[in-house]
Structure 1
Amino acid sequence: MARIPLVTREAIPESEQGAYDAFMESRGGRPNVGPYSLVAHMPEMAQRLESLRTYIRAEESLPQKLQELVMISVASEMGCAFIWYAHAAAARDIGVRGDIIDNLREQKALTGLDADDQLVVNFTRELLQNRKVSQATFDAASSRFGQRGTMTLTNLIACYAVLAYNMNTYELEAPEHPTEKGLPQ
């Protein structure tokens, strides 16, 4: 159970119910689970965060496989069970190797990654652990993904970190996944 109740329309101030309704409609009525069940307590913020997330996810400068790898790297680094729950199977389905997923989950050493996978994991870890990336990592990302791809990478990490901060602060539990092990407690 989360530290705050999941959002309902009745819990939203009347002045913000229009924004809540628009947000619910944009999500197909689905924010009753996951991070949006929390952040929708502030529907304007939830709309803006969702707009950023969907914009970045549609960006073609960083392939979807690498985006999924970034998301599970954020989940692992930040100990966010719900992001792991939502993306580990998707990462596997889109082609991230099973041993990479398993080792990220268990925070074991990653070996034998291809150059792109290693680059996005290194970039994610550096940014989250150090609050910046080294010149070498920045140069490698810029050389490989260009300015736009590096911007996409940076903001994908930031967006999912915001979601993780909210879920971790409010202790949102992840349901059990039918095929993926959850993050260790």
Structure 2
Amino acid sequence: MARVPYAVDEDLDPEYRDLVVSSLQPGKRVNVYSAVGNNQEVLAGLRGFLGALWSDSGLSDRQRELLILTVASEIGSAYEWHQHVNIATDLGISEGEIRAIARDERPPFSEEERALVAYGRAVIRGRVTDAHHEALAEYLDDRAVVGAAAVAAAYLALGRVIDALGVELESSEEFVGWEVK
């Protein structure tokens, strides 16, 4: 059970109401934003930050989603995993690739994507080495490397907020599972 109520429109000032709806899944009201909506200013700041990561990180949509799935898998965030499996499949990321991330397997990915996933796991573990950086920098420019670090760290933080607040899947949904079928 969530540790805070999910804010509904009546709880939110009009300028904040759209912020509880996913920008990656248009029209879908998501519990994580509804929970954070108990502090509307934090919700606005969080959405602004995440929005910048989605649109200005220097990563492709596919790279961003591979990183987010890596973070969700690494920290065991079922909520983020569930949300981003749906987004990833809409982008054409295969179920086999998604399962490989859950299992921490690299074979289905290109060398560039292997470097990205390894870098993401290193960020989460707080163990980025020069070798991780150099492997990623072989494929991405400095702007995108910063974006990759920020996406991984931001989704680590978001996962911890989800955990702290006890955010649950939306009531109409059933967890996709770590072994996507």
Provide TM-score, normalisation by structure 2. 0.82
Two-structure CA RMSD over aligned residues (Å) = 2.6
AA aligned opposite 1:86: Q
Alpha-carbon displacement from aligned partner over 1:3-54 (angstroms, at most 9, x marks no partner): 222124666xxxxx6xx43221455697953311121111111111100111
| Shift >3 Å, 4+ stretches | 8-11, 25-32, 175-178
CA distance 1:27–1:173, change in 2 (3 Å): closer
Aligned to 1:170: 165
| Counterpart contact for 2:79–2:169, Cα < 8 Å | yes
Aligned to 2:59: 62
Is residue 2:38 matched to residue 1:45? no
AA aligned opposite 1:75: A
Could you tell me how far apart the structure 1 residues matched to 2:21 and 2:160 are? 24
Aligned to 1:6: 6
Aligned to 1:143: 138
| Counterpart contact for 1:81–1:173, Cα < 8 Å | no
Q: Give ranges in structure 1 of 5+ residues lacking alignment.
A: 12-16
Greater shift, 166-175 or 120-129, is seen at 166-175
| 1:96 corresponds to which of 86, 90, 93 | 93
Could you tell me how far apart the structure 2 residues matched to 1:25 and 1:9 are? 9
* 1:85 CA drift (Å): 1.3
CA distance 1:41–1:26, change in 2 (3 Å): closer
CA distance 1:38–1:49, change in 2 (3 Å): same
Aligned to 1:156: 151
Alpha-carbon displacement from aligned partner over 1:78-99 (angstroms, at most 9, x marks no partner): 1111111111132123232322
Is residue 2:114 matched to residue 1:121? no
Q: Give ranges in structure 2 of 5+ residues lacking alignment.
A: none
* 1:60 CA drift (Å): 6.0
Could you tell me how far apart the structure 2 residues matched to 1:79 and 1:110 are? 18
CA distance 1:78–1:143, change in 2 (3 Å): same
Could you tell me how far apart the structure 2 residues matched to 1:43 and 1:140 are? 40
| Counterpart contact for 1:71–1:87, Cα < 8 Å | yes
Aligned to 1:14: none
